[in-house]
């Protein structure tokens, strides 16, 4: 897997934005908060894809609404650079999200964790569609009179008769 | 002076609306013709007042009359004339004037249309609309008064409108379009309430209701897409839709209005959906109120919102009153509307409509829950969280694709009951077409499951839609021996609304595909390069030619010139950073080259002493969004264009709901 | 009267209005920090014009630390600066104040400090913005109060309120 990613990176040779390389020397160590990196180290195109994957799930704190991946705000770009640095070192998507959540709170995640009360967010639409389907099924099947003749239509509607004739062909 | 004039005319409009509300309901109760006439005159008076204050405020803006508080708030002698004119809707108080003027126009049109129709329902409907007018006139007169005098000393210069809003021409047309959509929903709402109060909903009223719904629906569609276009062209993040609360606020009524438009097609044929249609129309209007509340209350924070306004609580009271009022009225009267009718056959066009409504309502409910969920959680246990793009995309995509599928299945199925053979005949060819389109997509490089499902479904729906448009023409040619053109014009004449509807469907198919593809295959890359240097991304090479500073009256621009080579090139893009006086940070303005399959989009991140930071996006299919919008506009106009009045008023009009 | 419609409608409408109304009291841009009560993220950052000298947070254990995130492009920071200066002078020797400059350049910082009455405490430079991210900095200025044991006790949004900071510091000392 690593070899594949590296191979991909070499083949593509993208222009990597200048990393805050000097920061690594004096920067912060996220390990106490989220543990050792569990993924492969990334560079090149694979790193960009990974950065985008994670940054898309983070909210830009100063812009309200748009994600860190997209926002041109300076703060968001600093956060994105941090995401890139962490993914490069091999921290997983989840680890980086956890790191940001520890600093900013759950607010920073654009998609809330699917646990606790938040489950309602996912179950509510499913439940509504289910209920609606049940109601529709009840209307369509239940109230049907047995052996009902083909539903009568308002007579004397030549156009509709025509449309049906057209469909019959 | 102008301020005083504006205030007096606003009060006049308020008085007319209140009086009209009273006489309208009185006319509904007594059936008095004189009272109805009075209501109509009062409604026209309200309209005149609103249009007048619109003009008064424009005059004040253009003359830079800083003694008017709103002019002092958004005006600037440095702004170009067009910016000064449109700054009327750049801030809360002014935008309510635009709101009032648009409301006035819609109510006037309804007053004129209904002048000698439906004497039992019209007074109730007009009265209801005028009560809503009264509320907005009250906002202009009191809590959001834009005409109030500026505290002394009167300044001789103002800050100018919000720089973000000055940045692009779309900002001139996008808000009025959205307002036309939002405000226009007042008319179908009034008509639905009128039907409930009068206790009857006849076929002619339903049909008029549908048109009253269709027109603002069209504006809302255009307003929403233009809003996305504006975000795309101005905000510089390469996207057009972020599921921001205010965007969601405009999407919610669009969804329910779409559902209502479809539901309203059934009662003309079967009475089963009457009550449901009315419910959807009421919800649509209530959602426009909710959307306005979201934008203006400061409760939700968003790129688009007007911050720090104190009309929030007043608006909430009005919203609560309307919500509870609608529930009570529905509970009291809905049974009178419920018609008799058979349940539809499980596999029929009626069932298609039913499922369409179910999914649209489910989607709007989901968006509503997602948008308000952070507020709910905050209220319940004081935690802040966000519900954003990843959530909404995840939920909206399957529902969107299913709706696309129904857009194909519904029209393919016959009304009423059909034999299995007929159903197979109806669904077989489009099914084959969808497989063919999926294969084409695969060959064209679409290898991920969801986009493949999307294009296959789109192929299905397109086949059916085109077949539905072509079949009547072919039948006429064969049966009546008409030439293709004559057959087309006859078929079109007979079913213009039906054709309009199908054209809208085609536009929506284009939109959904463009959204899906652009979302699935967009790519981006950041560069930091020197003048003369080049960077490569995808098939494109970007060479930095240089940076030049331009001083304009109201802003200072730093324009970056980038030469792009690659498929569809070479071309030059000029993204810029704009510094507005009075704004802290520079605002980027990206530059886009729209190619048939792909947009090349460049925005400036930073301009350093020697290096320029660029963010480059390759956005496939985005250009098709604007094309889809154009198709929807054409279809809506076809469907909504006034028909020649034929026969007696209220006579059943032959129509083919589709 | 259709009671089913009435009950279902009210069940939907009343909570909605309640939720919308509950939003009024609060400021949507105020986000409580999850870091309060947690160990302050460690950092080691270079001092502006410090000749390569760095400051490491953990080396300051034993007395409270006030960390202020600021920038020259932040307007509120200019009004906040005199408050911080006077606080730093009042508590000199008892409380360590630190400024961390976020998304800024050294020449701009120098000019800004010259214009705004100099500094009474080290101005650190957040290279690569790692510290700001670890502390969850959103809208500047933001400040953190860290106790002698290295635990974050308070987060102040916007310009610090001198009275509030003094109360919090007195409680710690």
How confident is residue A1, by pLDDT bands cut at 50, 70 and 90? very low
Least confident of A68-82, B291-305, B551-565, C90-104: B291-305
Asked whether the beta carbons of residue C128 and residue A33 sit closer than 8 angstroms, the reply is no
Closest in A27, A33, A101 to C130, CB measured: A27
Would you say residue B373 has pLDDT above 70? Answer: yes
For position B632, what pLDDT does the model report?
93
Measured between CA atoms, the residue of chain A closest to residue C140 is A62
Would you say residue A18 has pLDDT above 70? Answer: no
Would you say residue B123 has pLDDT above 90? Answer: yes
Strand, helix or coil for residue A109: strand
Mean pLDDT value of segment B75-99: 84
Which residues in chain B are closer than 8 Å to C22, comparing Cβ atoms?
Answer: 375, 378-379
Structure tokens given for B383: 């935690």
Which residues in chain A are closer than 8 Å to C134, comparing Cβ atoms?
Answer: 28, 30, 103
Closest CA to B137 of B225, B26, B9, B229: B9
How confident is residue A134, by pLDDT bands cut at 50, 70 and 90? confident
Residues 51-110 of chain C with CB under 8 A from chain B are 73, 75
Q: Mean pLDDT for chain B? A: 85
Asked whether the beta carbons of residue B320 and residue C29 sit closer than 8 angstroms, the reply is no
Mean pLDDT value of segment A8-13: 33
Query: What ipTM was assigned to the predicted interfaces of this complex?
Result: 0.83
Q: Which residues, in sequence order, are bridge partners of residue B549?
A: B558
For position B429, what pLDDT does the model report?
86
Closest in A18, A70, A132 to B528, CB measured: A18
Q: Is residue A90 part of a domain?
A: yes
Q: Are the C-beta atoms of B417 and A162 separated by less than 8 Å? A: no
CATH code of the domain containing A88: 1.10.8.640
Asked whether the beta carbons of residue A136 and residue B416 sit closer than 8 angstroms, the reply is no
DSSP track, B497-565: HHHHHHHHHHHHHHHHHHHHHHHHH-EEEEEEEETT-EEEETTEEEEEEEEEEEE-SSEEEEEEEEEEE
Strand, helix or coil for residue A65: coil
DSSP track, B405-461: HHHHHHHHSPSS---HHHHHHHHHHHHHHHHHHHHHHHHTT--SHHHHHHHHHHHHH
Q: Distance of CA C99 to CAs A91, B288, B292, C60, C143, Å? A: 29, 47, 42, 14, 9
Asked whether the beta carbons of residue A70 and residue B242 sit closer than 8 angstroms, the reply is yes
Mean pLDDT value of segment B143-153: 85
What is the distance in angstroms between the Cα of A141 and the nearest Cα belonging to chain B? 7
| B643 vs B63, higher pLDDT | B63
Q: Is residue A115 part of a domain?
A: no
Residues 105-124 of chain A with CB under 8 A from chain C are 105-108
> What value does the CA radius of gyration of chain C take, rounded to a whole number of Å?
21
> What value does the CA radius of gyration of chain B take, rounded to a whole number of Å?
27
Domain span at A75? 2-12+39-108
Give the integer Cα–Cα distance in Å for C168 and C173.
9
Would you say residue A15 has pLDDT above 60? Answer: no
- Count: domains in chain A: 1
Asked whether the beta carbons of residue B475 and residue A166 sit closer than 8 angstroms, the reply is yes
Closest CA to A83 of A126, A120, A47, A107: A47
Question: Omega of the bond prior to C88 within 30 degrees of 0, cis?
Answer: no
- Say if A84 is an interface residue toward chain C (CB within 8 Å): no
Asked whether the beta carbons of residue C134 and residue A103 sit closer than 8 angstroms, the reply is yes
For position B283, what pLDDT does the model report?
95
Would you say residue B657 has pLDDT above 70? Answer: no
CATH class of C36-172: alpha beta
Closest CA to B342 of B266, B410, B423: B266
- Say if C25 is an interface residue toward chain B (CB within 8 Å): no
In percent, the amount of chain B with pLDDT more than 70 equals 91
Which residues in chain C are closer than 8 Å to A74, comparing Cβ atoms?
Answer: 103
Tell me the per-residue pLDDT of A36-92, one tens digit each, with 9 for 90 and over.
888 888 888 888 889 988 999 998 887 766 788 888 777 888 888 889 988 998 899
| B86 vs A164, higher pLDDT | B86
Tell me the per-residue pLDDT of B20-65, one tens digit each, with 9 for 90 and over.
999 999 999 998 889 999 999 999 999 999 999 999 999 999 988 8
| Residue among B263, B275, B343 with most chain A CBs within 10 A, to mutate | B343
Asked whether the beta carbons of residue A133 and residue B358 sit closer than 8 angstroms, the reply is yes
Q: Are the C-beta atoms of B72 and B155 separated by less than 8 Å? A: yes
Q: Structural domain boundaries of chain B? A: 1-161, 162-335+350-364, 390-520+633-640, 522-623
Residues 496-555 of chain B with CB under 8 A from chain A are 524-529, 535-537
In percent, the amount of chain C with pLDDT more than 90 equals 20
Give the integer Cα–Cα distance in Å for A7 and B398.
35
Closest in B319, B320, B330 to C5, CB measured: B330
| Residue among B307, B375, B611 with most chain C CBs within 10 A, to mutate | B375
Q: Structural domain boundaries of chain C? A: 36-172
Tell me the per-residue pLDDT of B254-300, one tens digit each, with 9 for 90 and over.
999 999 999 888 755 556 678 888 999 999 999 999 988 887 765 56
Tell me the per-residue pLDDT of B330-368, one tens digit each, with 9 for 90 and over.
988 888 876 656 666 777 788 888 888 899 999 999 999
What is the distance in angstroms between the Cα of B615 and the nearest Cα belonging to chain A? 9
| A14 vs A116, higher pLDDT | A116
Closest in C33, C42, C130 to A23, CB measured: C130
Q: Is residue A88 part of a domain?
A: yes
Strands B591-594 and B598-607: antiparallel
Which residues in chain A are closer than 8 Å to B475, comparing Cβ atoms?
Answer: 162, 165-166, 169
Q: What is the DSSP letter of B235?
A: T
Measured between CA atoms, the residue of chain C closest to residue B584 is C73
Give the integer Cα–Cα distance in Å for A167 and B210.
26
Asked whether the beta carbons of residue B394 and residue A129 sit closer than 8 angstroms, the reply is no
């Amino acid at each position: 897997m690593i070899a594949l990613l590296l191979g991909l990176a070499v083949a593509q040779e993208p222009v990597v934005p200048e990393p805050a390389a000097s920061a690594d020397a004096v920067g912060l160590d996220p390990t106490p908060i989220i543990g050792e990196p569990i993924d492969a180290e990334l560079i090149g195109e694979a790193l960009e894809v990974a950065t985008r994957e994670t940054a898309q799930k983070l909210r830009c704190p100063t812009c309200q609404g748009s994600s860190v991946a997209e926002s041109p705000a300076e703060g968001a770009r600093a956060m994105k650079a941090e995401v890139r640095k962490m993914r490069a070192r091999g921290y997983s998507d989840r680890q980086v999200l956890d790191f940001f959540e520890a600093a900013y709170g759950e607010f920073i995640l654009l998609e809330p964790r699917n646990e606790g009360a938040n489950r309602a967010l996912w179950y509510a639409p499913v439940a509504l569609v289910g209920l609606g389907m049940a109601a529709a099924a009840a209307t369509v099947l239940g109230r049907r009179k047995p052996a009902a003749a083909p539903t009568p239509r308002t007579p004397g509607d030549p156009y509709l008769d025509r449309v049906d004739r057209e469909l019959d062909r | 002076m102008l301020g005083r004039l504006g205030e007096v005319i606003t009060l006049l409009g308020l008085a007319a609306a209140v009086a009209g509300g009273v006489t309208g309901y009185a006319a509904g109760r007594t059936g008095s013709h004189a009272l109805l006439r009075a209501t109509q005159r009062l409604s026209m008076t309200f309209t005149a007042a609103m249009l007048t204050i619109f003009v008064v405020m424009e005059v004040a803006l253009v003359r830079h009359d800083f003694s008017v508080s709103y002019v002092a708030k958004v005006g600037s002698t440095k702004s170009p004339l067009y910016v000064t004119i449109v700054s009327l809707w750049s801030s809360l108080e002014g935008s309510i004037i635009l709101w009032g003027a648009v409301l006035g126009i819609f109510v006037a049109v309804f007053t004129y249309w209904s002048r000698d129709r439906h004497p039992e329902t019209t007074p109730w409907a007009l009265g209801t609309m005028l009560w809503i007018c009264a509320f907005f006139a009250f906002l202009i007169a009191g809590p959001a008064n834009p005409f109030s005098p500026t505290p002394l000393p009167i300044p001789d210069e103002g800050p100018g409108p919000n720089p973000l809003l000055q940045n692009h021409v779309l900002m001139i047309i996008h808000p009025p379009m959205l307002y036309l959509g939002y405000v226009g929903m007042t008319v179908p709402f009034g008509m639905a309430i009128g039907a409930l109060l009068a206790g009857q909903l006849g076929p002619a009223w339903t049909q008029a209701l549908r048109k009253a719904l269709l027109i603002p629906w069209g504006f809302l569609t255009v307003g929403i897409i233009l809003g996305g276009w504006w975000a795309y062209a101005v905000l510089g993040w390469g996207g057009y839709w972020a599921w921001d609360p205010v965007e969601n606020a405009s999407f919610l009524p669009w969804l329910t209005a779409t559902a209502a438009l479809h539901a309203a097609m059934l009662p003309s044929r079967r009475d089963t959906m009457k009550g449901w249609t009315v419910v959807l129309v009421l919800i649509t209007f209530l959602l426009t109120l909710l959307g306005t509340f979201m934008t203006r209350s400061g409760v939700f924070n968003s790129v688009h919102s007007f911050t720090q306004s104190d009309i929030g609580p007043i608006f909430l009271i009005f919203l609560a009153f309307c919500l509870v009022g609608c529930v009570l009225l529905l509970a009291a009267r809905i049974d009178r509307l419920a018609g008799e009718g058979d349940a539809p056959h499980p596999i029929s066009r009626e069932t298609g409509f039913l499922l369409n409504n179910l999914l649209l309502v489910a989607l709007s409910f989901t968006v509503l829950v997602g948008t308000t969920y952070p507020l709910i959680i905050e209220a319940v246990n004081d935690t802040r969280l966000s519900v954003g793009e990843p959530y909404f995309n995840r939920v909206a995509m399957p529902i969107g694709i299913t709706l696309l599928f129904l857009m194909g299945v519904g029209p393919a199925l016959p009304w009423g009951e059909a034999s299995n053979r007929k159903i197979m005949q109806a669904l077989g060819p489009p099914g084959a077409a969808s497989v063919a389109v999926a294969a084409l997509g695969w060959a064209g490089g679409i290898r991920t499951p969801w986009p493949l499902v999307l294009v296959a479904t789109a192929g299905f729906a397109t086949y059916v839609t085109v077949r539905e448009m072509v079949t009547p023409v072919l039948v006429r040619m064969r049966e009546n021996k008409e030439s293709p053109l004559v057959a087309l014009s006859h078929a079109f004449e007979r079913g213009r609304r039906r054709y309009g509807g199908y054209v809208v469907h085609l536009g929506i198919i284009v939109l959904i595909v463009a959204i899906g593809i652009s979302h699935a295959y967009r790519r981006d890359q950041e560069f930091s390069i020197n003048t003369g240097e080049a960077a490569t991304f995808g098939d494109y090479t970007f060479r930095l030619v240089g940076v030049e500073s331009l001083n304009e009256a109201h802003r200072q621009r730093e324009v970056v010139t980038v030469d792009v080579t690659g498929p569809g090139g070479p071309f030059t893009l000029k993204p810029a950073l704009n510094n507005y006086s009075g704004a802290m940070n520079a605002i980027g303005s990206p530059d886009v080259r729209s190619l048939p399959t792909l947009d090349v989009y460049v925005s400036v991140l930073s301009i350093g002493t020697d290096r320029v930071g660029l963010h480059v996006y390759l956005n496939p299919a985005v250009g098709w969004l604007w094309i889809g919008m154009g198709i929807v506009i054409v279809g809506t106009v076809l469907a909504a264009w006034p028909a020649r009045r034929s026969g007696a008023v209220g006579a059943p009009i032959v129509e083919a709901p589709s | 009267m259709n009671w089913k419609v009435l009950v279902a409608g009210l069940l939907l409408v009343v909570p909605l209005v309640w939720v919308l109304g509950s939003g009024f009291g609060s400021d949507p841009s105020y986000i409580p920090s999850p870091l309060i009560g947690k160990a302050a993220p460690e950092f080691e950052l270079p001092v502006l014009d410090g000749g390569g000298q760095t400051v490491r947070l953990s080396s300051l254990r034993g007395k409270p630390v006030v960390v202020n995130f600021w920038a020259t492009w932040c307007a509120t920071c200019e009004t906040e600066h005199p408050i911080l200066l006077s606080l730093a002078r009042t508590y000199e020797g008892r409380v360590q104040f630190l400024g961390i400059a976020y998304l800024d350049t050294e020449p701009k910082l120098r000019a800004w400090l010259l214009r705004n009455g100099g500094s009474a405490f080290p101005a650190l430079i957040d290279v690569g913005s790692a510290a700001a991210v670890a502390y969850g900095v959103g809208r500047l200025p933001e400040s953190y109060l860290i106790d002698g044991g290295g635990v974050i006790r308070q987060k102040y949004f916007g310009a610090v309120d001198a009275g509030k900071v003094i109360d919090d510091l007195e409680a710690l000392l």
